[in-house]
Amino acid sequence: MTLNVTRVDAWAAPLEDKPGSLATKLAALTEAGLNLEFIIARRAPDNPGAGVVFVTAIHGARGARAARDAGFLKTESLHAVRIEGPDTPGRGHQLVQVLAAEGLNLRGFSAAAINGRFVAHLAFDSGRDATKAARLMRRL
Task: With 0.95 as the threshold, say if the pTM is over it.
Answer: no
Q: Is the pLDDT of residue 11 over 70?
A: yes
CATH number for the domain formed by residue range(s) 77-138: 3.30.70.260
Q: Do domains 9-74 and 77-138 have the same CATH topology?
A: yes
pLDDT digits (tens, 9 = 90+) for 30-83: 999 999 999 999 998 788 899 999 999 898 999 999 999 999 999 999 999 999
Q: Is the pLDDT of residue 97 over 70?
A: yes
| Domain boundaries of the chain, sorted by first residue | 9-74, 77-138
Burial class (CB in 10 A: 0-12, 13-18, 19+), 47: exposed
Q: Pick one of 3.40.50.2000, 3.40.50.2020, 1.10.3720.10, 3.30.70.260 as the CATH number of 9-74.
A: 3.30.70.260
Pairing of strands 79-86, 117-124: antiparallel
pLDDT at 24: 95
**Ramachandran angles phi, psi of 78, nearest 5°:** -120, 120
Identify the three-state secondary structure at position 130: helix
At residue 1 the predicted structure's pLDDT band, cuts being 50, 70 and 90, is: low
